[in-house]
Amino acid sequence: MPYCCVPRCKSSSKQRTPGISFHEIPSDPELRAKWLKVISRDDWTPNTTSCYSTVCSPHFGSSDFKEGCKIRKLKKDAVPSIFEEYPPYLQPPKKRERSDASARKREAAAPVNTPPRKRRAVESQLETPSLPRNDLPSVDVGSQDLSPMDCTASELLLPLENGASERCITATVQVDRAVQVSSLSQVSATDKRKWRRKERDLNARIERLKNTVDKYKQELQKLKEESYVSAFLQVVEKVKEKDLAVSILVEQVQNFAKKKPTWSELTVRHAVVLRNLSTRAYEHVRSTGILRLPCRSTLERFMGSSRGDVGVTEIVKQRLSAELASHPSLQARACSLIVDEMRVKQRLLYHKQRDAFIGEVDYGVNSPKETTNEPVLANSLLCSILNGLSVSFKIAVAYFFMRK
């Protein structure tokens, strides 16, 4: 059970004080020695009396913990520094901040135009008492060629008289001003070089961006010319005119990448016609992917189910009634009856929906049937169709299985 190993500290996990965490003594030798030194326990080694020798969080400062962590964690170089229960002689020494009050006082009392270092030299020279002229060493200033800096240095080193002190102060101030002007000019020259370099880099970057934009424009124009974009745009514009070929072409493009394509009524109608013309050709085009076409189940759902009854069925009667109602004028109702016959293969098939056999001779429900022991198979199909004369429509009226 974790407890705090700091002397006179009573924190442990039994108390369950909120906001207190326990931290193990580090294994790093140097950091471990620092921890043991501030804990100040004589002849003691961690984890000897207990396996849970830790230090609680109140002995650390707020700056010793990592920020942004969900669990309270110490920094790598954190050392306990808060021991409120210790006597004063065991408390670690506190760091004192350096005070700058004396420096502020000296700056406030000094002259305004002289810098701090030169100001101290001038003040020391002004406070120096004037000595008798006999005690001064003889210096021939006129025989030597001295620069302003040398002159200033020599005047500062020699004891000053009443008139010489003023000249020295003036020369010192002039030299300080020259130093300040040269430093300002040097700083301004450095800034100029920096801004010129930055301007040159920005201009080069702008030039590169312009070249990139021009390159992309050329590639875009090239793609428009080579990828037939203009041709596809013309095709899309013609869709509004409801052109059959254009509508089917646009639908092919839309369904090209779809796993479950969607079809318009126009496409399904023509797909029904194509599949009735040639089932093998329709399935070949669809299976090879030359064109994406509706599957057989889609076509059957569109056409609906048929029981395959012969004669004039109820569905045919409803179709004729609907067509008659849609053409009120006598001219629109004018039509012709077309009767055609086609040969079929003799075969007897079982129809699951009708639960009956198909392929025998059948003339409808009301027609008499011959009773024979063996079925009579039909070898021809007689079909009658109504064809509109003034209005285009074709309706299959009836069909019969016959034998010739």
Q: What pLDDT is recorded for position 238?
A: 79
Question: Which letter, b or e, does each residue of 133-155 get, where b requires 16 or more Cβ atoms within 10 Å of its Cβ?
Answer: eeeeeeeeeeeeeeeeeebbeeb
Q: What are the tens digits of pLDDT across the range 137-181?
A: 444 444 444 444 444 444 444 444 455 555 555 555 555 555 555
Average pLDDT over residues 6-23: 80
Q: How far apart (Å, rounded) are the C-alpha atoms in residues 307 and 353?
A: 7
Q: What is the DSSP letter of 354?
A: T
Instruction: Inform me whether the pLDDT recorded for 323 exceeds 50.
Output: yes
- What mean pLDDT is reported for the chain? 76
pLDDT band, residue 83 (cuts 50/70/90): confident
Question: Is pLDDT larger for residue 54 or for residue 146?
Answer: 54
Alpha-carbon distance 192 to 379, whole Å?
Answer: 106
Reduce the DSSP state of residue 186 to 3 states and report it: helix
Helix axes 279-288, 265-277, angle to 10 degrees: 120
Q: Is there a contact between 395 and 385 (Cβ–Cβ < 8 Å)?
A: yes
Q: What is the mean pLDDT of residues 109-129?
A: 51
pLDDT in the model for residue 155: 41
Nearest residue to 40 via CA among 84, 2, 92: 92
Highest mean pLDDT: which range of 131-145, 184-198, 279-293: 279-293
What integer is the mean pLDDT of 18-40? 85
Average pLDDT of the segment spanning 313-336: 88
CA-to-CA dists, residue 349 to 315, 346, 360, angstroms: 23, 10, 9
pLDDT at position 403, please? 84
Is residue 315 pLDDT above 70, yes or no? yes
> What average pLDDT does range 282-287 have in this prediction?
92
Largest CA distance in the chain: 171
Q: How confident is the model at residue 33 (pLDDT cuts 50, 70, 90)?
A: confident
- Report pLDDT for 134: 44
**Does the pLDDT at position 389 exceed 80?**
yes
Q: Where are the domains of the chain?
A: 1-98, 114-123+145-227, 234-302, 307-402
pLDDT score for 214: 93
pLDDT higher than threshold 50 for residue 34: yes
Q: How far is CA 170 from the centre of its chain?
A: 68
Instruction: Give me the pLDDT at residue 136, please.
Output: 44
| 269-284 pLDDT per residue, tens | 899 889 988 989 999 9
